[in-house]
Structure 1
Amino acid sequence: MIKGKTNSGFEYKIPEENLNNYELVEILGEMEENPLLLAKAINLLLGKEQANKLKEHIRIESGTVPTDKISEEIMEIFESQKERKNS
């Protein structure tokens, strides 16, 4: 289990098998051409329950979940895993 916390304070736990998932790699590779795959990538990475928690964490007062903010959170999670592997 990989645990971490983003700069905004979102705490996550990712089962290691979620990071070692070929389907996640496929989706990440296709996201440049189809950014709508972001939701599926988030669900594969975090699982539906944590994905919902992340949405609630970044939801703004109007009720919207900003796409740029959720993308930043996911990129931060991936970056922290790169750093973890390199240390």
Structure 2
Amino acid sequence: MSKTFKGETKSGFKFEISERRLNNYELLELIGEVDEGQGQVFPKVVKLLFGDEQAEAFKDHLREEDGIVPNDKMADEIKSVFESVNGLKKS
């Protein structure tokens, strides 16, 4: 059974990500594409990282009153997730 990392983003979203999800080459490929400016693959990063159900909950957590999920908030929170997981891996 794979290890699970539990954490919380800066805005208070509590998440669980399995080590197996993090150790996914396709996730790494997509992150590389995002870094190269291909932002259109970002939704796939979120789904591979969290899985469908948790990805939807994450979007709902960030959704504003007008129904919009701001790109900048999403990017900041994903960065927060990776920072949190990296901190958990080191402890």
**TM-score normalised per structure 1:** 0.93
Secondary structure of the equivalent of 1:3? strand
1:83 equivalenced with 2:87 (yes/no): yes
* Cα distance in structure 2, aligned partners of 1:27 and 1:73: 17
C-alpha distance in 2, partners of 1:65/1:7? Answer: 16
Give the CA deviation at 1:53: 0.3
Whether contact under 8 Å (2:5, 2:88) holds in the other structure is: no
Q: Match for residue 6 of structure 1?
A: 9
Letter in 2 for 1:54: F
Aligned residue type for 1:35 = G
Structure 2 CA distance for aligned equivalents of residues 58 and 86 of structure 1: 28
Specify the alignment match of 1:16 in structure 2: 19
Count, aligned residues: 87
2:68 maps to amino acid: T
Distance 1:6 1:51 in 2: 13
Offset, 1:86? 3.1
Alpha-carbon deviation of 1:71?
0.8
Bigger RCO of structures 1 and 2 (CA < 8 A, at least 6 apart): 2
Calculate percent identity across the aligned residue pairs: 47
1:32 and 2:35 correspond? yes
- TM score, norm. by length of structure 2: 0.89
RMSD of equivalent CA atoms: 1.0
- CA–CA distance in 1 between the matches of 2:73 and 2:54? 16
Extract unaligned runs of 5+ from structure 2.
none
* SS of the residue 2:35 aligns to: coil
